[in-house]
């Protein structure tokens, strides 16, 4: 039987899973909105981000109330503090999905993504959504193996990001500067979204093992031309 204290702690965890579910759905829908130039879908993503922000505020208020009232120590304290960080990661992921949707809205009725990058952006969007779904699962199951798997998925995102950059500067770009700017920003949004999803999973690893997962990721920079990186 759970006491009130552990019920409060569990409800913080439930809030995180709900946030992850919402921002996972948001990046999927934002990607569809930008690829299909679907204004109504873009608007719904932008609107739904308010719910994520409200969930974060609620969750933070509950976490802080729990700190004040229950004064947890050791593992429980670590859980509450780490939850605050995870909620910040998830809130930011929601912002990034909203950025994608806003770009879709800005370019409507045009498509922001040219045809020859459709597949790459679709893959980035799907991977981002999958990363967040896995992070939500890690939150629920505390499955360390799955958490470590996210790092590989994140490498795949970096590769897609590099592919995108390479496409931009391969000398055959015919979509003008405005579209190049849009695609550069989109790439950055998906990469950052993935970083936050991975951060959530890493924080679960920290909670379970007490060890910070290694920071192995290099920054993705734009590619160099002839001179090599």
Where does this chain bind a second copy (CB under 8 A)?
64, 67-68, 71, 73-74, 77-78, 81, 84-85, 88, 98-99, 102-103, 106-107, 110, 165, 168-169, 173, 176-178, 180-182, 184-185, 188, 219, 221-222, 224-225, 227, 229
110 or 126: whose CB is closer to a second copy?
110
Nearest-approach distance from CB 138 to a second copy, in angstroms: 21
16 or 130: whose CB is closer to a second copy?
16
Nearest to 85 by CA among 195, 11, 196: 196
CA 8 – CA 4 distance, rounded (Å): 6
Nearest to 131 by CA among 90, 167, 98, 172: 90
Residues in CB range of 171: below 8 A, 6 or more apart: none
Nearest-approach distance from CB 54 to a second copy, in angstroms: 12
The dihedral formed by the CA atoms of 155, 205, 79 and 158, expressed in degrees to the nearest 10:
0
Q: Contact at 8 Å (CB) between 95 and 24?
A: no
Nearest-approach distance from CB 1 to a second copy, in angstroms: 26
Nearest-approach distance from CB 177 to a second copy, in angstroms: 5
209 or 224: whose CB is closer to a second copy?
224
């Amino acid at each position: 039987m759970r006491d009130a204290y552990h019920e409060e702690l569990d409800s913080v965890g439930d809030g995180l899973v709900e946030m992850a579910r919402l921002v996972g759905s948001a990046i999927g829908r934002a990607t569809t909105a930008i690829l299909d130039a679907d204004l109504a879908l873009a608007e719904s993503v932008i609107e739904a981000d308010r719910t994520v922000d409200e969930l974060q505020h609620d969750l933070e208020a509950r976490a802080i109330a729990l700190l004040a009232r229950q004064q947890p120590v050791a593992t429980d304290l670590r859980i509450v503090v780490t939850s605050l960080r995870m909620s910040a990661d998830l809130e930011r992921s929601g912002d990034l999905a909203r950025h994608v949707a806003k770009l879709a809205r800005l370019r409507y009725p045009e498509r922001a993504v040219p045809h020859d990058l459709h597949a790459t952006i679709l893959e980035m969007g799907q991977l981002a959504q999958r990363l967040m779904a896995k992070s939500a699962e890690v939150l629920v199951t505390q499955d360390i193996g799955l958490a470590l798997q996210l790092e590989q998925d994140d490498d795949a995102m970096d590769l897609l990001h590099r592919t995108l950059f390479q496409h931009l500067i391969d000398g055959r770009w015919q979509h003008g500067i405005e579209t190049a700017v849009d695609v550069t920003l989109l790439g950055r949004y998906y990469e950052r979204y993935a970083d936050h999803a991975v951060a959530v999973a890493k924080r679960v690893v920290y909670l379970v093992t007490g060890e910070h997962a290694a920071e192995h990721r290099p920054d993705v920079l734009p590619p160099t031309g002839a001179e090599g990186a």
